[in-house]
């Protein structure tokens, strides 16, 4: 759901630039607590993967398609503040170089995808994870549920923005239900991709997955034999 | 199976090296952007579809960079459809990667002993 130029009026677009700026400024501080030199490469990779995955629209029926937003995928793997930054990088590159999402709509797209989808989805993830906080196996499922909710959540907030500054008089109830129903379908794809990606990284390196770090005991000192390190 | 369970309870901290994981992830991303993208659905996305159905699609304006050489994930002047998308995709990955890896490294604390 990259919002193009023209959908929202100037004041509303400007307001979302304000929201996005505050969010990114906070994320620049928050991400410092999430990132260290072991996790930073994963954060870079997450941004690259989300850019690539967003080039692949999947059909959701009736001549409509959707693509990954990546908010929960990123938040679970590298932390929500870092996810806000990673997705902002993707959205800015898309808007500037690929004309994907409007230039004046950049604040709107950052707000919807890098803030709302990330944080609402991550909140749902944390609620589900709280059912069994010590479970490794629950993490991909909880991430999938968060991902599923994150897409219609962003769609709902878009409807709210349209109510404030939409370019045409559209029945808001109808807009909300249509937006939410289509984006719930897209959310299923979001959930599947998020499940697969989180599962893959979790099985390879549970120790650097943000949402699993409390499960990995970090030994003070790691003793490794020469044979282990060279293999 | 019981040995597998035993292994899990003493989770090894490093099953795969970070470098291996990142390279594998970049290769998957490259495959998505340069190959799978050719088979992506060209149908309007959820928002475009809703805009068409409810009749506000025409309020969308062209982006100021709509004439960018990479607009809409195609490469200006490249006739071959696959090559056009693949070049755009690879450039996108490189730019995103340079900015994102650089930014994350800049923000990272020295190794995780917090």
User: How far, in Å, CA of A121 to CA of A149, rounded?
Assistant: 6
Which residues of chain B carry a pLDDT beneath 70?
A: 1-14, 111-114
- Enumerate domains of chain A plus CATH numbers: 10-230 (1.10.1760.20)
- Cβ-defined contact of B33 to A51 (cutoff 8 Å): yes
Give the closest residue to B25 by CA, choosing from A61, A44, A67, A6: A44
Q: Please report the pLDDT score of residue A231 as a whole number.
A: 45
pLDDT tens digits in sequence order for chain A, 231 residues long:
899 999 999 999 999 999 999 999 999 999 999 999 999 999 999 999 999 999 999 999 889 999 999 999 999 999 999 999 999 999 999 999 999 999 999 999 999 999 999 999 999 999 999 999 999 999 999 999 999 999 999 999 999 999 999 999 999 999 999 999 999 999 999 999 999 999 999 999 999 999 999 887 655 455 666 665 554
Q: Tokens 């998020």 map to which residue?
A: A194
Nearest-neighbour CA in chain A from B110: distance (Å): 6
Q: Does B59 touch chain A (CB under 8 A)?
A: yes
User: How far, in Å, CA of A140 to CA of A145, rounded?
Assistant: 9
Nearest-neighbour CA in chain B from A142: distance (Å): 20
């Amino acid at each position: 759901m990259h919002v193009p130029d023209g959908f929202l009026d100037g004041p509303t677009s400007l307001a979302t630039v304000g929201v996005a700026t505050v969010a990114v400024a906070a994320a620049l501080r928050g991400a410092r607590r999430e990132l260290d030199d072991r996790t930073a490469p994963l954060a870079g990779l997450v941004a690259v993967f989300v850019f690539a995955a967003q080039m692949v629209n999947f059909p959701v029926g009736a001549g409509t398609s959707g693509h990954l937003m990546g908010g929960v995928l990123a938040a679970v793997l590298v932390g929500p503040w870092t996810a806000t930054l990673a997705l902002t990088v993707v959205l800015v590159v898309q808007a500037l170089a690929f004309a994907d999402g409007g230039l004046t709509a950049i604040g709107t797209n950052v707000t919807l995808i890098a803030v709302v989808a990330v944080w609402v989805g991550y909140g749902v993830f944390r609620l589900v994870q709280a059912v069994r906080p010590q479970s490794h196996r629950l993490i991909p499922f909880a991430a999938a549920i968060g991902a599923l909710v994150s897409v219609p959540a962003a769609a709902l907030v878009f409807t709210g923005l349209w109510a404030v500054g939409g370019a045409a008089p559209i029945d808001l109830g109808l807009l909300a239900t249509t937006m939410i129903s289509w984006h719930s379908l897209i959310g299923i794809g979001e959930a599947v991709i998020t499940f697969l990606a989180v599962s893959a990284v979790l099985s390879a390196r549970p120790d650097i997955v943000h949402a699993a770090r409390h499960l990995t005991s970090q030994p003070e000192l790691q003793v490794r034999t020469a044979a282990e390190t060279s293999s | 199976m019981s040995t597998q369970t035993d292994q899990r309870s003493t989770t090894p901290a490093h099953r795969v090296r970070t470098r291996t994981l990142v390279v594998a992830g970049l290769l998957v991303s490259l495959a998505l952007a340069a190959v799978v993208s050719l088979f992506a659905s060209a149908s309007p996305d959820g928002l475009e579809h809703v805009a068409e159905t409810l009749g506000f699609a025409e309020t969308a304006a062209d982006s100021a960079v709509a004439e960018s050489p990479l607009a809409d994930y195609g490469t200006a002047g490249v006739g071959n459809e696959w090559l056009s998308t693949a070049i755009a995709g690879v450039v996108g990955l490189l730019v995103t990667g340079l900015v994102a890896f650089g930014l994350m490294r800049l923000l990272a604390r020295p190794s995780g002993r917090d």
